């Protein structure tokens, strides 16, 4: 297990931090207010090859290993939760196609997603089905050489903007994953605004009314949709969420250190008060613990360890709950200023809460972690 970053990883981390401080963080509040990410930012991310940095170079990526990708994701998460969500979703769809798609699907879509020519969305959740995704009701019926999709998806990140949608639907009682282009007749989206957090994630609903797609758009086989295709995407998205939460928590810590140094009450900087120090210390310890769990998950992912999925769940569960607690304390330490628009901590708090819900809620992670953790048998 690697406990310290290599010289190369530290150098990469510094590059990511500078990129985020220059390109993403200064505009995060503005994007949130606009409830959208600008096209120029998507292009900038594509040019830097950060949209799906884990793709091979010929597909618009950097062939980045997962631990380094975690460092990038932490920095992006510190800068803006919605940008972190954008790069997560692009990776979720691109890697699902790369792993389960046909040669034609890979050739047609993966590089376009990596290069930002096609913005992708991942559509599993429905108005009445979230955690219990296996019981999704959207249907796919094969008619000749087409599938006809009917149903309703909700809470889909970048539904307002995406060109290509990975849609999960039941076909004769078994789940399939289908690629649907925005301009397909019978396919419509509607925006959802006023969210608690991740407000620039251009969330939307999708309506599928007799939406006919070529049979070649099935990803993997019928029956592979949830256990293989969605699992590939959600595992990738969960790692991104975990690392992004470390970024949120780090951002809260840095803001709180600065503020408690500058703010004076009772004649001294508030960081001199022991109850304030207690909150700062809890932040420091929990950011560090969450980061180490993410490094461990990244390391195991790079080694293709069978324990990578479980350790990613552990990292996501711990980092998302820690980020929410840390962001809550950061607002507390900022007092009224923490509730206003001049400091980023209220946005961090709202974004952190969402991380406990997306890519599998904290309760679902708790159930899975307990189920997947083997019993250690002691001798004697």
Ligand X SMILES: Cc1cc2nc3c(=O)[nH]c(=O)nc-3n(C[C@H](O)[C@H](O)[C@H](O)COP(=O)(O)OP(=O)(O)OC[C@H]3O[C@@H](n4cnc5c(N)ncnc54)[C@H](O)[C@@H]3O)c2cc1C
- Site residues (CB under 6 A) for ligand X? 89, 122-125, 130-131, 155-157, 195, 198, 201, 203, 354, 357-358, 361, 363-364, 367
Residue 283 or 357: the one with the smaller Cβ distance to ligand X is 357
Q: If residue 140 lies in a helix (H) or strand (E), which one and from where to where?
A: strand 139-143
Cα 34 from Cα 24, distance rounded (Å):
15
Q: From the CB of 217, what's the least distance to ligand X, in Å?
A: 18
Q: Would you state the torsion angle of the CA atoms of residues 198, 202, 206, 212, taken in this order, to the nearest 10 degrees? A: -130
Q: From the CB of 277, what's the least distance to ligand X, in Å?
A: 33
Judge contact between 76 and 83, C-beta under 8 A: yes
Judge contact between 279 and 326, C-beta under 8 A: no
Q: From the CB of 358, what's the least distance to ligand X, in Å?
A: 5
Q: From the CB of 378, what's the least distance to ligand X, in Å?
A: 30
Residue 12 or 359: the one with the smaller Cβ distance to ligand X is 359
Q: From the CB of 177, what's the least distance to ligand X, in Å?
A: 12
Q: From the CB of 139, what's the least distance to ligand X, in Å?
A: 17
Cβ neighbours of residue 352 closer than 8 Å, sequence gap 6 or more = 197, 245, 248, 249, 320, 323, 324, 326, 327
Cα 128 from Cα 354, distance rounded (Å):
18
Whether residue 359 lies in the annotated active site: yes
Judge contact between 250 and 324, C-beta under 8 A: no
Cα 240 from Cα 6, distance rounded (Å):
21
Residue 12 or 35: the one with the smaller Cβ distance to ligand X is 35
Judge contact between 114 and 141, C-beta under 8 A: no
Residue closest to ligand X (Cβ): 130
Q: Which of 35, 254, 359, 371 is catalytic?
A: 359
Full DSSP string of 45-114: HHHTT-TTTTS-GGGTS----HHHHHHHHHHHHHH-HHHHHHHHHHHHHHHHHHHHS-HHHIIIIIHHHH
Cα 168 from Cα 107, distance rounded (Å):
21
Cβ neighbours of residue 235 closer than 8 Å, sequence gap 6 or more = 308, 309, 312
Residue 283 or 358: the one with the smaller Cβ distance to ligand X is 358
Cα 201 from Cα 316, distance rounded (Å):
20
Residues carrying an active site annotation: 359
């Amino acid at each position: 297990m690697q406990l310290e970053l290599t010289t190369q990883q530290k150098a990469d981390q510094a590059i990511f931090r500078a990129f985020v401080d220059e390109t993403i963080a200064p505009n995060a509040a503005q994007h949130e207010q606009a409830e959208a990410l600008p096209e120029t930012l998507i292009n900038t991310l594509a040019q830097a090859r950060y949209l799906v940095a884990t793709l091979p170079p010929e597909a618009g990526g950097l062939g980045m290993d997962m631990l380094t990708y975690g460092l990038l994701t932490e920095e992006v998460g510190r800068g803006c939760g919605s940008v972190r969500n954008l790069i997560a979703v692009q990776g979720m769809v691109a890697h699902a196609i790369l792993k389960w798609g046909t040669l034609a699907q890979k050739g047609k879509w993966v590089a376009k997603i990596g290069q930002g020519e096609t913005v992708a969305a991942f559509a599993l959740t429905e108005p009445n089905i979230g955690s219990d995704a296996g019981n999704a009701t959207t249907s796919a019926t094969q008619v000749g050489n087409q599938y006809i999709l009917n149903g309703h998806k909700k809470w889909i990140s970048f539904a307002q903007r995406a060109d290509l949608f990975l849609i999960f639907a039941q076909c004769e009682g078994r789940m399939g994953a289908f690629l649907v282009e925005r301009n397909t007749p019978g396919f419509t989206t509607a925006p959802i605004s006023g969210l608690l957090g991740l407000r620039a994630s251009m969330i939307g609903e999708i309506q599928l009314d007799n939406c006919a797609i070529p049979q070649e758009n099935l990803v993997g086989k019928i029956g592979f949709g949830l256990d293989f295709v969605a699992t590939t995407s959600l595992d990738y998205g969960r790692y991104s969420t975990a690392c992004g939460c470390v970024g949120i928590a780090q951002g809260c810590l840095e803001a709180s250190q600065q503020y408690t140094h500058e703010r004076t009450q009772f004649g001294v900087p508030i960081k001199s008060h022991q109850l304030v120090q207690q909150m700062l210390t809890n932040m420091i310890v929990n950011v560090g613990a969450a980061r180490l769990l993410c490094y461990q998950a990244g390391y195991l992912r790079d080694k293709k360890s069978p324990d990578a999925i479980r350790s990613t769940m552990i990292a996501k569960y711990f980092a998302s709950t820690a980020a929410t607690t840390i962001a809550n304390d950061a607002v507390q330490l900022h007092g009224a200023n923490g509730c206003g628009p001049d400091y980023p901590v209220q946005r961090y708090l709202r974004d952190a809460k969402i991380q406990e819900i997306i890519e599998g809620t904290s309760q679902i992670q708790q159930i899975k972690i307990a189920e997947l953790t083997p019993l250690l048998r002691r001798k004697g």
